[in-house]
Amino acid sequence: MDSFTAITIAVFLPFILAGILPTVEKLLKDKVGWYASAVAFLSLIMVAQVAPEIIHGETIQGTIEWLPSMGINLSFYADGLSIMFGFIVSGIGVIIMSYSNGYMSKKEDLPRYYQQLLFFMGSMLGMVFSANTIQLFIFWELTSITSFMLIGYWRNRPMSVYGATKSLIITASGGLFMLAGFLVLHAITGTFDIPTILHNESIREALHSHNLFIYALILIFIGAASKSAQGPFYIWLPNAMEAPTPVSAFLHSATMVKAGIYLIARVHPIFSGTEAWFILVSGVGIFTMLLAGFLAFRQTDIKGILAYSTISQLAYLMTMYGYTTHHEPGIGVAAATFHLLNHATFKACLFLVAGIVAHEAATRDITKMGGLRKEMPITFIVATIGALSMAGIPPLNGFLSKEMFYESSVEMGHLLGGPYTILIPALAVLGGVFTFAYSIKFIDGIFLGKRPSKGLPEHIHDPSMVMLAPAIFLAGLIILFGLVPSIPVHNFIEPTVSGILLEPTTLHVKLWHGFTTSLMMTIATFILGILIYTQYDRIAEWQNRFNAMFPWFSVNYYYDGAVNNAKDVTFKFSSRMQPGPVKNYVIAVLLLTLAMFAIPATMLATNFIPQNLNFDVPLYEGLIFLFMIIAALGAALLPKYLPAIISLSGLGYLVALLFIYLQAPDLALTQVLVETLSTIIFLLALVKIPQKFKEHIPTTTLARDLIISVAVSAMIFILLINATQGIVPPFETLSYYFIEKSLALAGGHNIVNVIIVDFRGYDTLGEISVLCLAALGVYNLIHSRGEDE
């Protein structure tokens, strides 16, 4: 199998196999999670198959034509960056879906859960391998939508719905900014193809001096920041913790929130080496890193701590990718890439632990926990490894990448000179101090100290291997990457960094590299971290007091205000626009149509009635018209409902008869049937209406309605009589084309039917979709109204 095929399969396999998952569920029952993890494993194999080529420094590219006329194709591009993400997404996918077998209760709606996980995984893989900005945008928004559905998995919990909506509003609208950025990029470069821009130096140079450069950068950065919960957009991630914990581990720590980081790394060669890039990416990164690290203190929910820590860790990555100067565009790229991989391991591990603890202790409140180390020894060890790696303790992998972070901060500060020499490393250390403190809190709060006397179940124990093994596996990776850094560095980091910097790179990462500045900074971090940890609870209390005193000093305050206001405004708007009854809307529509016709017609035409009219009407047609007039009068004037309805349907059947005389059998048949069905529906409605007589209508209303009816009828009459001559210039009829081609192209004698199912089949497909939507709409209207009562 060639590599392009392998990537295509890796992306589309989850979608296809998720499609048949409900059927598989009937066979496997509650073991269906293993099927889902097998699917993820297949994708992992496909990605792994491509990896050797990438490690040798090649890139893979291929295209399936889609909209060639617009330069939009289904095209995939694989370099080190996409392969590393491919591994993280499919690898963590296998782990999460296996773990879910233990976590999700058998009573849950498992097919929906696993289907959405697989859809998400496919979208994520599609995004990281996209070679085309439009395609990237589509997959990007698909991840937002699947994330929305997974956060809202427990549909009847209000907080789930709130969190899901919030994440969708923020990430999906951020995606629209990104799309606008891509369009600006297209306006500058003339292409949607990412590799073309990456590998063409002249395009990139022209881009840097273009005056739209800054707009493209800002728009794309907004997309990345909203997805990765950076800057003011961070608020959606803590609420996303309402999702089932495996989902949080998968989407909201290891993969989806890194999509923004991926985008930054992907466009790094295009935008980096400019002041704007450093100020925007590193600036927002440092700000978020400190803010989120600090705000983690007041969280009492263990998943809340992890959420804020994820925001802060993602901000590390942003900061590092943002370090750039004109001469050295990628100072922090190697450090960032290594930390990205490490963060995926230790954060996913910690989320799995959080899931285990919540599952066993039946609470997620850290203030109600403590001293669980004796009852859950294995979980305790795994959690400690994960948390210490996050805190940056040697010899774990978090230590290595944190050192590299400090190193690149020192270098960046040095290159900028002036006060920045001190400021940037100092801010980096401060971020590390916060991380250290909440990492220790995670261990101390759950496992150390004394077991609280009440609030916890009596018997708490380590879970089954189904849940424990994935966490142990990740803990093993943390130690392995820490002790033997050459494995990840050689296989993942070097190809990725080469892909971003567009030149072959070799890195040397060692556990011990002498007493360097960065080691001093690490030691300072530990000392300050321990000091600040002693004040942990006081800081958290102060934050709570501050929050209570100044509720307006938070982004959430404005988000909620905006969303609630929008609800009120739209409610007021719609109740102003549609106060009822339906009759008024009909009048409005009719009058507007009348105006749309009458104004241009009186301006254009001098004579509304054409000259040479044919008054030679056969007797039977005249009779039909006479009966039609009688039937119409009957429908309008008869005082009882039932005769009026019969009269109305009589009118309809007469129209059908007219169609037969005019040689349109299909039309006549349709008219008869539709008339029959609507009569039946009228009769059905009549059964439910208690009164038999029409209500009395005041004379003024009657006069008004009569005037409107006469005016509209006159309009229709003039319009029809002028259909082939008069006001409208004569036009060539289309029917000859269909008469000629019907048999030749579609093999049918009935032209009407051939037009419906063949020539205009696309229209018909649209129409039947509308019919389906209408049926679903009626179902929802009737059933949702029932629930309210």
Partner 1 sequence: MTTLITKTITKICLPLVILFSISLLLAGHNNPGGGFIGGVMFASVIALTYVAFGLNYIKSFFNPDWGNWFGFGLLLAALTAFSAIAFSHNFFRSAVEFIHLPFFGEIELVSAGLFDIGVYFVVIGGLLSIFKNVGDDE
**Given the rule CB under 8 A, which residues bind partner 1?**
665-666, 669-670, 673-674, 676-677, 680-681, 683-684, 687, 746-750, 752-754, 756-758, 761-762, 764-765, 768-769, 771-772, 774-776, 778-779, 782-783
Smallest separation, CB 492 to partner 1 (Å): 38
SS3 610: coil
112 or 451: CB nearest partner 1: 112
Phi and psi torsions of 65, nearest 5°: -70, 140
447 Cα distance to chain centroid? 37
Q: How far is the CB of 650 from partner 1 (least distance, A)?
A: 17
Rg (CA), the chain: 34
Contact 540, 297 (CB under 8 A): yes
Q: Is 173 or 679 the residue whose CB approaches partner 1 more closely?
A: 679
**Residue 59: helix, strand or coil by DSSP?**
coil
Scanning 640-664, the segments in alpha helix (DSSP H) are 641-661
CB of residue 582 to partner 1, shortest distance in Å: 16
Closer CB to partner 1, residue 569 or residue 773?
773
For partner 1, which is the closer residue by CB, 261 or 754? 754
**Helix, strand, coil abundance in the chain, percent, nearest 5:** 75, 5, 20
Least distance CB 239 / partner 1 (angstroms):
34
Q: Minimal distance in Å, beta carbon 748 to partner 1? A: 4
C-alpha span between 464 and 761 (Å, rounded): 56
Interacting residues of 454 by C-beta distance below 8 A, sequence separation 6+? none
Assess contact for 116 and 149: CB atoms under 8 A.
Answer: yes
CB 446 within 8 A of CB 383: yes
CB 321 → partner 1: shortest distance, Å? 41
Rounded to whole angstroms, the Cα distance separating 43 from 12 reads 9
In whole angstroms, the minimum distance from the beta carbon of 643 to partner 1 comes to 15
Q: Closer CB to partner 1, residue 561 or residue 665?
A: 665
Cα–Cα dist 298/317, whole Å: 24
Closest CA to 361 of 450, 488, 455, 483: 455
Q: Give the residue among 100, 99, 85 at the shortest CA–CA distance from 43.
A: 85
Q: What is the dihedral of CA 441, 549, 559, 301, to 10 degrees?
A: 20
Cα gap 337→81, rounded to integer Å: 9
**Please, which residue, 555 or 768, has the CB nearer to partner 1?**
768
Q: How wide is the angle at C-alpha 287 spanned by C-alphas 556 and 182, nearest 5°?
A: 80
| Least CB distance to partner 1 at residue 663 (A) | 11
Distance CA 340, CA 445 (A): 26
- Which helix (DSSP H) or strand (DSSP E) does residue 399 occupy? helix 397-416
Contact call for residues 156 and 150 (beta carbons, < 8 A)? no
Does residue 364 contact residue 299 with C-beta atoms inside 8 Å? no
Tokens of 660: 């037969």
Comparing CB distances to partner 1, the nearer of 535 and 750 is 750
Structure tokens that stand for 425 in this block: 């490393």
Contact 257, 251 (CB under 8 A): yes
Q: What is the DSSP string of 497-554?
A: HHHHHTS-------S---S-HHHHHHHHHHHHHHHHHHTHHHHHHHHHHHHHH-TTSS
**Cβ distance to partner 1 smaller for residue 454 or 785:** 785
Nearest to 392 by CA among 421, 357, 431, 355: 431
Q: How far is the CB of 351 from partner 1 (least distance, A)?
A: 37
Q: HEC states along 23-54?
A: HHHHHHHHHHHHHHHHHHHHHHHHHHHHHHHH
The minimum distance between CB 743 and partner 1, in angstroms, equals 9
Residues in the chain: 789
| Nearer Cβ to partner 1 (666/740) | 666
Q: Which is nearer to partner 1, 570 or 753 (CB)?
A: 753
For partner 1, the closer CB: 325 or 670: 670
Q: What is the largest CA-CA distance in the chain?
A: 111
Nearer to partner 1, 218 or 667 (CB): 667
For partner 1, the closer of residues 459 and 688 by Cβ is: 688
Smallest gap, in angstroms, from Cβ of residue 756 to partner 1?
6
- Residue 701 Cβ, how far from partner 1 at the closest point, in Å? 28
Q: Find out whether 98 and 34 touch, Cβ atoms under 8 Å.
A: yes
Q: Are 395 and 403 in contact (CB under 8 A)?
A: no
The enclosing H or E element of 586 equals helix 582-604
Q: Which is nearer to partner 1, 12 or 597 (CB)?
A: 12
Interacting residues of 537 by C-beta distance below 8 A, sequence separation 6+: none
Based on CB atoms, which residue is closest to partner 1, 696 or 749?
749
Q: Which is nearer to partner 1, 663 or 699 (CB)?
A: 663
Output the smallest distance, CB 746 to partner 1, in A. 6
CB-wise, 212 or 778, nearer to partner 1? 778
Torsion angles phi and psi, residue 748, rounded to 5: -130, 145
Least gap, CB of 9 to partner 1 (angstroms): 17
Q: How far is the CB of 740 from partner 1 (least distance, A)?
A: 16
Helix H or strand E segment including 313: helix 302-322
Q: Which helix (H) or strand (E) holds 445?
A: helix 420-446
CB of 644 to partner 1, least distance (A): 16
Smallest separation, CB 739 to partner 1 (Å): 14
